[in-house]
């Protein structure tokens, strides 16, 4: 949720090191709070580590998939 989050710093370092195309997707506090009950219900757990690890992927998958899609050499 923060543009200077430590996760983003290290994700970019790893992407640069392996030569990967890196895209950052940000989520807002409001998005997290709005979707939190849905994520907890889908996961079936109150475990904070599981919820935290799942929230970003859940929000990413709720977005427009074309917005994040990159052409893969396997698509040809």
**Model confidence over 33-58: pLDDT tens digits?**
999 999 999 999 999 999 999 998 89
Ramachandran bin of 19, using left for φ above 0, alpha for ψ from -120 to 50, beta for the remaining angles: left
Q: What is the mean pLDDT of residues 13-21?
A: 92
Q: What is the mean pLDDT of residues 68-76?
A: 50
Ramachandran bin of 44, using left for φ above 0, alpha for ψ from -120 to 50, beta for the remaining angles: left
Query: What is the distance between the alpha carbons of residues 10 and 13, in angstroms, rounded to a whole number?
Result: 5
**Residue 55 in contact with residue 39, Cβ under 8 Å?**
yes
């Amino acid at each position: 949720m923060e543009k200077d989050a430590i996760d983003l710093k290290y994700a970019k370092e790893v992407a640069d090191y392996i030569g990967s195309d890196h895209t950052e997707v940000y989520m807002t506090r409001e998005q997290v709070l709005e979707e939190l009950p849905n994520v907890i219900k889908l996961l079936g757990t109150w475990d904070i580590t599981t919820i935290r690890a799942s929230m970003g992927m859940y929000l990413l998958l709720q977005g427009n998939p074309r917005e994040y899609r990159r052409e893969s050499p396997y698509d040809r």
